[in-house]
Amino acid sequence: MKIIVAADYDEMSKLAANHVAQWVRQNPKAVLGLPTGGTPLGMYRNLIEMHRGSNLSFKDVTTFNLDEYVGLEPHHSNSYRYYMYENFFKHIDVQEHNVNIPDGTAEDLEQECIHYEDKIRNAGGIDLMVLGLGNNGHIGFNEPSDRFPATTHVTKLDESTVQANARFFERIDQVPRYSITIGIGSIMRCRRILLLASGKAKARAISAALEGPVTPSLPASILQFHPDVTVILDAEAASKLTNAV
């Protein structure tokens, strides 16, 4: 595991964008796994700038989003599909048919999960998965639990996740309670992982995930067993690490 500590959010975002851009330049047909939330917004902004200014193309890239709320229509301004188009996809040359986001309005959600997992397999697996981190140590929406979920599944969001996500909604009762998420097994099968975290609120989860015991009660801790993980943190998120580089 390689841990890089940036001075602040802007530097973390630039380093993260460079990491993704380098991979895409070397592998124009790369399959990327992508998160939403506050953390990757700066990375997406930097990638858009590189697309505009320095020829970074996503024309042959395939993307799989980590998760989507259950029950929000795709055009809903809080859906992750909407977020991805607003903050990234509509500004780059990725092709619509190469974009994959779970359908949280599918009539048969179990079938949608199986279908999503099949699509990842048929694409040859994910080359580079970018992850954010929940304050409670979740990755995707794999919440603290007594087991590591293997594949894409429907998950009930923790109360703390609902509280954290409420900042994007007008009222807390509008935050969906369920989502579809790629499973921990699916994340562990990705060839490379880039984990990003910024801010003091992530410091405890980062130190537990990277330096504590591997346990499903802190899902990100499983990344200690992955052979190719890069972690890019800002100084605040790294502040509780004892062995930060």
Q: Which of residues 77-136 bind ligand F6R (CB under 6 A)?
A: 132-134
108 a catalytic residue: no
Q: Is 36 in the site for ligand F6R (CB under 6 A)?
A: yes
User: Is 133:197 a contact under the CB 8 Å cutoff?
Assistant: yes
Neighbours of 39 (CB within 10 A): 24
93 a catalytic residue: no
**Can you tell me the distance from the alpha carbon of 126 to that of 35, in angstroms, rounded to the nearest whole number?**
13
- Residue with Cβ nearer ligand F6R (37 or 144): 37
Q: How many residues bind ligand F6R (CB under 6 A)?
A: 14
Q: Is 37 in the site for ligand F6R (CB under 6 A)?
A: yes
Q: Is 63 in the site for ligand F6R (CB under 6 A)?
A: no
The nearest distance, CB 75 to ligand F6R, in angstroms, is 18
Cβ neighbours of residue 219 under 8 Å, at least 6 residues apart? Answer: 137, 138, 139, 142, 143, 144, 145, 148, 184
For residue 99, what are the β-bridge partners? 63
- Residue with Cβ nearer ligand F6R (52 or 185): 185
- Residue with Cβ nearer ligand F6R (57 or 224): 224
The nearest distance, CB 182 to ligand F6R, in angstroms, is 8
87 a catalytic residue: no
Q: Which of 46, 65, 67, 153 is catalytic?
A: 67
Q: Which amino acid is at 91?
A: H
User: Which of 139, 187, 193, 194 forms a contact with ligand F6R (CB under 6 A)?
Assistant: 139
Angle CA 156–36–63, to nearest 5: 105
Q: Which of 46, 65, 98, 136 is catalytic?
A: 136
136 a catalytic residue: yes
Nearest 10 degrees: CA dihedral of 39, 144, 20, 34? -80
Give which of 57, 1, 31 is closest to 194, Cα–Cα. Answer: 1
Number of helical H runs and strand E runs in the chain: 7, 10
What residues act catalytically? 67, 136, 138, 143
Residues of this chain that bind ligand F6R (CB under 6 A): 35-39, 66-67, 132-134, 138-141
